[in-house]
Structure 1
Amino acid sequence: MRKFDPWPVFFRREFNRNWPFLVGFVVTGTIIVKFTAGLTEEDAKNSPFVQEHNRK
C-alpha cells in the first residue's frame, strides 16, 4: 500500500489561501520594473531623491 503524500494537499490549500498575495506581488513588481527600466541618466540628474541619496 502506498503511503499518503501530504504535499499536494498542503500546496493546494496554501495556494488557495495565498493567491491574492502572490498576484499582488507580481503586479507590483511588474509596475516597479516597468517604471525603473524607463529611467534615464537625465532623469537621475534632475531627481531630488537621487541627488539627496547620491553616495559617490
Structure 2
Amino acid sequence: MPQLNPNPWFFIMLASWLTFSLIIQPKLLSLTPTNPPSNKTSTTTKTTPWTWPWT
C-alpha cells in the first residue's frame, strides 16, 4: 500500500511545518493590528424571559 509509505510525505510535512513556525509565524505575529480593541466598558442589556403559551 503506497499510502502508508512515509518516506516522501513525512519530510514534506516536517519541512512545511518548520517553514511555517520558524519563518512565517514570527513575521505574522510582529504585525500590529489595524483595529486594536478599545477600552470601552461593556453595556449589559436586560433580557426578559420568554413566555411560553402552554405554561
**TM-score tier after normalising by the smaller chain length:** 0.3 to 0.5
Structure number having the greater helix percentage: 1
Task: Kindly name which structure, 1 or 2, has the bigger radius of gyration based on alpha carbons.
Answer: 2
Q: TM-score, normalised by structure 1?
A: 0.41
Q: TM-score, normalised by structure 2?
A: 0.41
- Bigger relative contact order, structure 1 or 2 (CA pairs below 8 A, ≥6 apart): 1
